[in-house]
């Protein structure tokens, strides 16, 4: 292949008028590959980033896996279960589990003089990982989360604050209905904003002990425990281990444990995220198709323009196979230049968006305020390899045109 590549490289670097027809075709082919590759890379990076952002926000409200009362899973209403220190240690010891935290929920509504808002009051304790809420804290501070001391401090969302006309320092009455009406006054100490509308509309955060007492539960009872894993890809294996440990076992009161992943608890969100992969596949197919089309048409023009060269090479003893390899190597050089340009363009735009968030979005529609980007070098390598392999495989067919060029006919015509 050394002979064929040497000839192809000389043809590719030629700068004479002999290429006056093929030069534009080569440029179009190079830019076709470059633009197609850049679009493919950006599509994958953006969809990965979008899925990562939405998943991270959903996980922030419920962990990767939840252990709860079986009745909660079937009825949707918070039912108590004992999650003692012994069970917490067992859950923490599972492979890939990085954190375990208890929580308690109570549905109710906030009411002010001019408006009301249905809410899920979520109580959490000292072990609660506040990194997620702190990252999305818009104003004020975090409440004092405690599993032993009830408090009137509450963290609400910006959507709840806008609906109720509240701000940091405001007071709001909460009403809870379960057989009897319960009312409690809360002080708004902080406001968060995740742009995940369904969750922002619902959740307000306070101390675990506050919700446990509102529910009339015992001190060691709660709605369940949330488990965080080291990696989202670890969820299935960890969920199996959790199910083996707790499913169909009972606490001291006879309440049966069960477990569920976040995708099982919120199937709508995760099914929607899975559909985004379909869009990426469509874009990849279209862009590779465009690249192949421009390369095929460009290679045909190049071969037709080089009929004299092909005739001379054949008269000197070159075989059809050798000449086909010359033009395949020529095509590889065009694809290689296009891929270098495409990678440079795609990665530069992705890094710029990742660093500065140049392109903004409407968070009310897209749940994020800027186009999210997640660069994966594995995907970069896979897309480049697929583009090069498929393009060269398809371009084998046009090179068979070389066999139809006969030196005697070309020279007689000249």
Number of neighbours of residue 162 by Cβ within 10 angstroms: 12
Distance CA(82)–CA(221), nearest Å, equals 4
Confidence at residue 2, expressed as pLDDT on a 0 to 100 scale: 72
Percent residues over pLDDT 70 in the chain = 94
For 358-376, what is each residue's pLDDT tens digit? 999 888 888 888 999 999 9
The residues, ordered by sequence, that sit 6+ positions from 203 with a Cβ below 8 Å of its Cβ are 61, 119, 120, 122, 157
Buried b (16+ CB within 10 A) or exposed e, 298-312: bbbbbbebbbebbbe
State mean pLDDT over 46-59.
91
- Confidence band of 408 (pLDDT split at 50, 70, 90): low
State mean pLDDT over 58-77.
88
Confidence at residue 318, expressed as pLDDT on a 0 to 100 scale: 75
Distance CA(204)–CA(56), nearest Å, equals 18
State mean pLDDT over 260-286.
86
- The answer to whether 32 touches 197, Cβ cutoff 8 Å, is no
State mean pLDDT over 134-158.
94
For the whole model, what pTM was predicted? 0.83
Confidence at residue 407, expressed as pLDDT on a 0 to 100 scale: 66
Token pair recorded at residue 203 = 């959740």
State mean pLDDT over 107-129.
93
228-237, 376-385, 386-395 — most confident range: 376-385
State mean pLDDT over 389-394.
86
Question: Is 414's pLDDT higher than 60?
Answer: no
DSSP secondary structure, 176-236, as one string: EEESEEEEEEEEEEEEE--S-HHHHHHEEEEEHHHHHHHHT--TTEESEEEEEES-GGGHH
Question: Is 13's pLDDT higher than 70?
Answer: no
Confidence at residue 403, expressed as pLDDT on a 0 to 100 scale: 67
Confidence at residue 70, expressed as pLDDT on a 0 to 100 scale: 92
Crossing angle of helices 267-305/22-62, nearest 10°? 170
Q: Does 229 or 24 have the greater pLDDT score?
A: 229
- The answer to whether 335 touches 37, Cβ cutoff 8 Å, is no
- The answer to whether 395 touches 299, Cβ cutoff 8 Å, is yes
The phi, psi pair for 364, rounded to 5°, reads: -65, -25
Confidence at residue 375, expressed as pLDDT on a 0 to 100 scale: 93
Token pair recorded at residue 130 = 């506040």
Q: Does 48 or 309 have the greater pLDDT score?
A: 48
State mean pLDDT over 133-155.
94
Least confident of 23-37, 147-161, 180-194, 363-377: 23-37
Distance CA(349)–CA(224), nearest Å, equals 44
Confidence at residue 146, expressed as pLDDT on a 0 to 100 scale: 92
- Confidence band of 413 (pLDDT split at 50, 70, 90): very low
For 291-314, what is each residue's pLDDT tens digit? 888 888 877 877 777 777 777 777
- Confidence band of 288 (pLDDT split at 50, 70, 90): confident
Distance CA(409)–CA(86), nearest Å, equals 90
Number of neighbours of residue 270 by Cβ within 10 angstroms: 18
CA 290 to chain centre: 26
């Amino acid at each position: 292949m050394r002979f064929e590549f040497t000839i192809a490289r000389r043809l590719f670097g030629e700068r004479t008028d002999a290429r006056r027809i093929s030069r534009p075709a080569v440029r179009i082919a190079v830019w076709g590959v470059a633009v197609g590759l850049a679009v493919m890379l950006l599509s994958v990076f953006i969809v990965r980033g979008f899925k990562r952002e939405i998943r991270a926000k959903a996980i922030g409200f419920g962990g990767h896996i939840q252990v709860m009362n079986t009745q909660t899973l079937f009825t949707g209403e918070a039912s108590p279960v004992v999650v003692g220190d012994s069970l917490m240690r067992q859950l923490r010891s599972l492979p890939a589990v990085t954190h375990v935290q208890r929580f308690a929920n109570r549905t109710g509504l906030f009411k002010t003089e001019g408006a009301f808002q249905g809410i899920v009051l979520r109580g959490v304790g000292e072990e609660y990982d506040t990194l997620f809420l702190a990252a999305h804290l818009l104003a004020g501070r975090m409440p004092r989360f405690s599993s032993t001391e009830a408090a009137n401090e509450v963290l609400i969302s910006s959507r709840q604050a806008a609906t109720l006309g509240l701000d940091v320092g405001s007071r709001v009455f909460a009403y809870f209905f379960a057989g009897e009406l319960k009312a409690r006054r809360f002080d708004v100490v902080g406001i968060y904003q995740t742009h995940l509308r369904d969750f922002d509309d619902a959740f307000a955060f306070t101390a675990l002990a506050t919700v446990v007492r509102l529910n009339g539960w015992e001190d060691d009872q709660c709605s369940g425990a949330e488990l965080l894993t080291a990696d989202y890809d670890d969820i299935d294996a960890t969920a199996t281990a959790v199910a083996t440990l707790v499913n169909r076992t009972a606490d001291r009161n006879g309440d049966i444990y069960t477990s569920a992943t976040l995708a099982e608890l919120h199937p709508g969100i995760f099914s929607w995220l899975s559909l985004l992969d379909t869009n990426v596949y469509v874009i990849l197919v279209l862009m590779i198709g465009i690249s192949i089309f421009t390369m095929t048409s460009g290679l045909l023009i190049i071969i037709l323009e080089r009929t004299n060269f092909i005739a001379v090479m054949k008269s000197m003893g070159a075989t059809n196979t050798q000449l086909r390899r010359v033009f395949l190597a020529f095509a590889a050089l065009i694809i290689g230049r296009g891929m270098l340009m495409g990678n440079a363009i795609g990665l530069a735009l992705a890094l710029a968006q990742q660093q500065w968030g140049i392109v903004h979005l409407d968070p009310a529609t897209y749940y994020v305020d800027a186009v999210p980007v997640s660069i994966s070098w594995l995907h970069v390598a896979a897309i480049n390899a697929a583009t090069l392999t498929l393009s060269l495989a398809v371009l084998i067919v046009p090179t068979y045109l070389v066999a139809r060029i006969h030196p005697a006919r070309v020279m007689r015509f000249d």
